[in-house]
Amino acid sequence: MKNEIKFFAGIDVQIKRGCCYYIIDENKNYFESGWVTENIPQSLKEIFLKVSSNNPYKIAIGIDSPRMPIDKLRKRSFERKTNSWKNNDEGKIGRECEVIIKSYNIANPQWTRTLQNSPDWMKLGFSIYDTLTGFHFVYEVFPSASYRMLEKENIKYELCLNNFIGGVKDMLDASVGAITVYEFINGRGCEVGGEDGLGTIVLPRKIENWIADLTD
């Protein structure tokens, strides 16, 4: 089914200016970008349905936001040296996918909390995931981690400055979300986490390959 994908979208989730999105095609060329300020989850759904000609298999979507809140504090920590989990008594916030990224010093996550304690932008992210459940390829991305992994890779994709004035860093993050999903779908990335049932984060490179390149 993945060979049907023709478009790759990234969404930067925030409250104050609304959410921005950036879409590239299968050749990494710019297709569309913009901002959504009203009825954000449903508006994004309608945009992606239009782009994909109502075919949910034709578009892969990366969202820069946690997929879901935690329902209880985490009782495991990750041991990078042994690539394994260790149980502990002290409960901590955050999902295991975030812990792995932090343990490998790829990026510093904004730890996911319970629904009651989550900031508004995370709650908006949760609702976007819920609204996009009809699409078959919806992933969580972390642009800060992607910047780190790709900083020496000379990755190229078409960047169009349309709609950047509303928030340059936000739109850039959305575009990086799109290229992250592109790299993952094409077999060069990986998913981390997931054993806690709280979702994974998609990265543009396999962690073991990235570490090996750092030490070369």
Tens digits of per-residue pLDDT, 149-169? 999 989 999 999 999 999 999
Judge whether 167 lies within some domain.
yes
Judge whether 177 lies within some domain.
yes
Judge whether 185 lies within some domain.
yes
Number of domains into which the chain is organized: 1
Tokens at residue 149, please?
């992994």
The 8-class DSSP code of residue 22 comes to E
Question: What pLDDT shows up at residue 5?
Answer: 96
Judge whether 200 lies within some domain.
no
Judge whether 28 lies within some domain.
yes
Q: State how far the alpha carbon of 142 is from the alpha carbons of 28, 42, 163, 201, in Å.
A: 19, 22, 21, 7
**Mean per-residue pLDDT, 210-214:** 76
The CATH code of the domain that includes 161 is 3.30.420.140
Judge whether 154 lies within some domain.
yes
Question: What pLDDT shows up at residue 151?
Answer: 94
Checking if the pLDDT of 28 tops 70, the result is yes
pTM, entire model: 0.95
Residues of the domain holding 14? 2-67+119-190
